[in-house]
Amino acid sequence: MSVHFQQLKSYLKDSLAKKKKAKRDKKNYAVPSSWHPVGKPIEGKTKELKVVPEAFFLKHIEAIEKNAVKGIDPSKSLNSQIDGGKGGTWLENESIYNMFVRVACAYDHDSDEQIGCNKKDITAGKNGYRETGTMLKAIALLGHIKELGFTTVYLLPVTASGKSDKKGDLGSPYGIRNPYKIEETLADPLVPEMDASELFAAFVEAAHMLGMRVICEFVFRTASKDSDWIPEHPDWFYWINAKVKDRKPGETDLEKAKKTYGNPIFDEETLKAVKAKVAANDFTNMPPPPQDFIDFFKIPPAKDTIKKNKKGNYIGTSVDPISGKKYEVRIPGAFADWPPDDNQPPWTDVTYLKMFVDENPEKPEFNYIAYNTIRMFDSRLNKVKLANKKLWQKLADIIPDYQDKYGIDGVMIDMGHAVPVPLMQRIISKAREKDPNFAFLSENFDIDQSSVEAGYNAVIGYAWWVEYKRDGMLKMLNHIGNQGVPIHFLGAAENHNTPRALAREGSLAYAKQAFLVNTMLPRAIPFLHSGQELSEVQPINTGLDFTDAQIKEASKRPLPLFDKYAYNWNGRHEMTDYVKKVLGLRKRYEALISQTDTKSFYLVPTKHPDVIAYLRFNNNGEHALVIFNRDYKKSYNGTLDLGPAFASWMTYIEDQLSDKELRFQINGTQLKYDLKPGQSCFFAWKK
């Protein structure tokens, strides 16, 4: 039953009735017209709307009820209630809308041209309305998501985040203070009777009512530096001498860098040896970091010595088991897990969980954070008998807890590649004991057999990393289409860690090309990171595929992963209409596009490096052709030989993406094309 959804409806109705009775029902709450109720078309008006907030959200609630799928229990997963693949394979036929609720659902409700200015609560406007994203506003966004054509909503972490050493005004959603709790700022003051957990439950119920599944992202490798677990389980964390200072970002003095805490600095010879061993899958006797770095780390303090300092950081007293010397210790920050010389800025707001314990705790060999203890585990450490058992159990119980409380349908595992394999197997097993059709998505950029063997249904893949490059697109098409891949992947031109697609060369033309290509590939799951349909160019974070210069430039302004930010929801966005049209075509030709056999794909020779084309076909005579011009300044024309794809009676084919009638002429097996700069076309026919 939709218990929380109905509670939300009741509270909104009561609040609205009280406002009307007191004659306080003023239209003083600004919203974008894009946040339309389910069943209404995307309007894309230029100006925002002024509404009575309770009436606005109530209208969305009633529209969801009117359009609800009959015969399902929305409080439970859809996996056993609607048709779909077994063992989580339903994910293969979905289209995914990904959002970071705090940003995607943010809006300037008091129209003062800023997000949050309240002295008591920086997430609220001057009138007290929360302007950062909430689960209530996420419910109102379901109409937009549904109208675009997406069938699954994938949420970045919604779990309670830390307050200590947080980046930006709000901190990162990946700094998890407690994975069993929902972040309190995702509640909404408009319904004070419901906390964040209850509103999250109402959101899942609302999505399920519309036949949409919900995937949540979970973090198993890191925690915030003020994690609720620290006082009770100090042995789940790494600790360093509190006198050791953190390294300043961009420190170039090598000697200063070595004396401060940050990623361990390997000399060139050792770094080369490390990379060579990893490339050879040889994890025996991995080169350790420098001894000076190892000496920063101390054994965990006793529980009764742990307390918080004025900054909200945990400190404790560690006693050296051999010398008896006492040290004041603190929780260290984290850094990129691979490669050891990665250029990502340090993750000062999170720390790594200690996955394994040393065989000799009094003289530990692996009591430090480095590549060989957090991802490329040394074989002497990577043993089930050395598992940090109570921590593993706590982590393995997280997903079942969300299945019981909220009925979620699947998960994305953040840094799944760095979770010990036996632990990951336990996590998957426990979730599928409750729901045999539960889906698992891995943050793996390789599309290979290892993810299949680990039990995942799909991976992130690498489309975002290669297809914007001149030779990258062809290499990707050849690998995925001609050679074939063993597992489904996200057809993503961007994600929350990468540059925006519209910030790449070609801007809108490139974003359109990438979305079209990724939607029509074998084993690709259409994927859109929120804001892409609104032509956003501001990155959410600078974690992947940024140059040093880009990172430096981005650091000059707040990043939405850590600070207040809102998308430009107003106006008609060309990308919005395009996404809807492409997803509509995929649905229309689903029997054709969903083919995974390499025989259903043909990379068409074009005789020009910037004109790329591929053909999809099946045994029923259905054909689809994607063709586009990768040059964003020049037009090209020519001919393609499509062999027996055309029937003898065909004289032309018509582009189904063009707003105007666009036909390419056919002469026998030859297709005559004429492509403007950056133009993309989609053709479909049946012989």
- Dump the DSSP string for 217-283: EEE-SEEETT-TTTTT-GGGB-EEETTSPBPPTT---HHHHHTSBSS----HHHHHHHHHHHHTT--
Taking the CA of residue 536 as centre, how many other CA atoms within 13 Å lie in the half-sphere pointing to its CB?
26
The DSSP element (H or E) to which 140 belongs, if any, is helix 135-148
Decide if 128 contacts 122 (C-beta within 8 A): no
Q: What is the torsional sign of CA 139, 145, 150, 154?
A: negative
The pLDDT assigned to 330 comes to 97
Kindly give the residue spans of alpha helices, DSSP state H, lying in 458-530: 463-466, 472-477, 507-519
Q: How far apart are CA 111 and CA 361, in angstroms?
A: 58
The pLDDT assigned to 43 comes to 66
Decide if 196 contacts 135 (C-beta within 8 A): yes
The pLDDT assigned to 212 comes to 98
Three-state secondary structure call for residue 482: helix
Q: How far apart are CA 225 and CA 349, in angstroms?
A: 6
Q: How far apart are CA 157 and CA 223, in angstroms?
A: 12
Residues of the chain with CATH 3.20.20.80: 3-221+392-588
Residues of the chain with CATH 2.60.40.1180: 597-686
Sheet-wide strand order for 663-667: 636-641, 670-675, 663-667, 652-654
Q: How far apart are CA 247 and CA 381, in angstroms?
A: 28
Which structure tokens are listed for 15? 């609040």
Question: For 597-686, CATH number?
Answer: 2.60.40.1180
Backbone angles phi, psi at 324, to 5 degrees: 80, 0
The pLDDT assigned to 396 comes to 97
Angle between helices 135-148 and 53-66 (to 10 degrees): 50
The pLDDT assigned to 468 comes to 96
Residue at 522: amino acid letter? P
Helix then strand then coil, % of the chain, to nearest 5: 30, 20, 50
User: How many Cβ atoms are within 10 Å of 430's Cβ, its own excluded?
Assistant: 17
Backbone angles phi, psi at 444, to 5 degrees: -120, 125
Question: For 3-221+392-588, CATH number?
Answer: 3.20.20.80
Which structure tokens are listed for 638? 């020519």
Whole-Å CA distances, 222 to 161, 237, 239, 413, 486: 12, 9, 14, 12, 29
Q: What is the torsional sign of CA 101, 104, 109, 114?
A: positive
The pLDDT assigned to 438 comes to 97
Decide if 664 contacts 683 (C-beta within 8 A): yes
Which of 182, 302, 172 lies closest to 224 in space, CA to CA? 172
The pLDDT assigned to 361 comes to 87
Whole-Å CA distances, 542 to 261, 493, 505, 539, 562: 22, 15, 18, 7, 11
The angle formed by the CA atoms of residues 476, 673 and 520, to the nearest 5 degrees, is 35
Regions of the chain short of the pLDDT cut 70: 42-46
The pLDDT assigned to 45 comes to 62
pTM for the full predicted model: 0.95
Which of 358, 348, 352 lies closest to 338 in space, CA to CA? 352
